[in-house]
Amino acid sequence: MGGDAIAFYNSGSDGEETLKENRFSSTRYRIRPRIMRGISHVDMTSSILGHSITFPVCVAPSAWHRFANLKGELETAKGVTIFHCRCYNAGVVMNLSSVATVRTEEVTSSFPDGLFFMQCYCLGNKRLQELMLREAKRQGFKAIVLSVDCSVISKRRKQFGPSMLERINSEMLPINYMQNEESSRRAEEEGPAAFLEYFMNMAHGATPVGLDFIRWIKDTSELPVITKGILTGRQPEKR
Tell which phi-psi region holds residue 106, choosing left (phi > 0), alpha (psi between -120 and 50) or beta: alpha
pLDDT of residue 134 exceeding 50, the answer is: yes
How far apart, in whole angstroms, are the C-alpha atoms of residue 92 and residue 155?
32
pTM > 0.85: no
pLDDT of residue 86 exceeding 90, the answer is: no
pLDDT of residue 34 exceeding 90, the answer is: no
Is the sign of the CA dihedral 8, 58, 72, 186 positive or negative? negative
Q: Measuring CA to CA, how many Å separate 239 from each of 48, 151, 209, 212, 236?
A: 37, 21, 18, 19, 9
Q: What angle do CA 156, 228, 46 make, to 5 degrees?
A: 125
151 versus 195: which is more confidently predicted? 195
How far apart, in whole angstroms, are the C-alpha atoms of residue 130 and residue 116?
19
**Over residues 40-59, mean pLDDT:** 87
Chain centre distance of CA 228: 10
Q: What is the pLDDT of residues 180-237, one digit of tens each?
A: 788 888 887 888 778 877 887 777 665 567 888 899 999 999 999 999 988 887 776 6
- 172 pLDDT band, cuts 50/70/90, is low
Identify the bridge partners of residue 171 per DSSP, sorted by sequence position: none
**Residue-level pLDDT at 90:** 58
Domains identified in the chain and CATH numbers: 44-228 (3.20.20.70)
Mean pLDDT, the chain, whole residue set? 80
* pLDDT > 70: percent of the chain: 79
pLDDT of residue 178 exceeding 80, the answer is: no
Chain centre distance of CA 125: 19
- CA nearest to 199, candidates 107, 100, 75, 91: 100
- 83 pLDDT band, cuts 50/70/90, is very low
Of 43-57, 74-88, 117-131, the poorest mean pLDDT is in: 74-88
123 versus 204: which is more confidently predicted? 123
First and final C-alpha spacing in the chain: 50
pLDDT of residue 170 exceeding 60, the answer is: no
